[in-house]
Amino acid sequence: MSTAIISHQQCEFHDNGQSHHPESGERLSAITNHLISSGVDWVLRSYDAPLVTREQLLLVHDEEYIDRVLATAPAHGENAVLDGDTGMNQHSLEAAYASAGAAVMAIDLTMQKKHNHVFCTVRPPGHHAGKNRAAGFCIFNNIAVGAAYALEKFALQRIAIVDFDVHHGDGTEEIFSSDPRVLLCSSFQHPFYPFSGADTKADNILNIPLPAGTGSSEWRSAVEQKWLPALDNFKPELIMISAGFDSHLEDDMGGFNLVEADYQWITHELCSLAKTHAQGRVVSCLEGGYDLSSLGRSVTAHIKELAEFC
């Protein structure tokens, strides 16, 4: 099976309303350009993301919060603020709907055996968005919407979410904490924004807080010791990835020192686990990654490994 990639035009036009905001539409352009220049785009099947439905959002978000986002969404030529670093322009609501809708479509594509591996090239990102709040550039929690949809529509009993963004996936943790059907594995710099996760005590949450300066060997060792055995024991029916690439050594939004080879390595390990336990099913959604050059290279390495493992 070929690997699929899902995006939406409005995702590029979403703007947080602040000059030189790091979470910009240039991120998607950098990814697209590097996929083309590397030739990887030739092996991908591209899809336009549908817009998420209200019912799908209600699987993880409070109704009051969804209504607040709708009420905040600005008209033409205006900007609005959801939280201190998460803004909206006239394109943001549709972009947020498409970003969550991409995760839903990815679930359908994998569960219906059309593709084993799907990458959602979308923004705004999602893993900081909680049940009732926007945070950290995130409006709706895309990966959580996709996972909750898979649990409901396809009656899955074991979904693993792996988050290797440099920031703790606090919104995803809030949504799925103590849900035994979801094993959440999150590695992140600590102490660092959002200053959570190091003291989490929940049987289904496996956090790896690591200090600034963490490099390839330390990060891989922690993953090998803590994540891989737990994932193998959990036997997930689906693996989902919150794919944040701001752990790269060239990305000054964090203090980790990972490189493209690390993203290729973890992708290979997760695809191997998916082949053993999940009929090969892997859904990956873009989270962070703000240095444009390293983002393009890292996402390409990630997608290339997804494609080669099909």
List residues with catalytic annotation.
Answer: 128
Question: How far apart, in whole angstroms, are the C-alpha atoms of residue 138 and residue 128?
Answer: 6
Residue with tokens 């591209």: 46
Q: Cα(240)–Cα(150) distance, rounded to whole angstroms?
A: 11
120 Cβ neighbours under 8 A, 6+ residues apart? 5, 6, 7, 49, 99, 102, 103, 106, 142, 283, 284, 285, 286
- The count of other CB atoms within 10 Å of the CB of residue 157 is 12
Helix (H) or strand (E) segment spanning residue 68: helix 63-72
Structure tokens at 289: 């990654």
The helix, strand and coil proportions of the chain, stated in percent and rounded to the nearest 5, come to 40, 20, 40
Cα separation, 177 vs 115, in Å, equals: 29
Ordered alpha helix ranges (H), 177-310:
216-222, 228-234, 260-277, 292-308
Residues 79/87, Cβ–Cβ less than 8 Å: yes
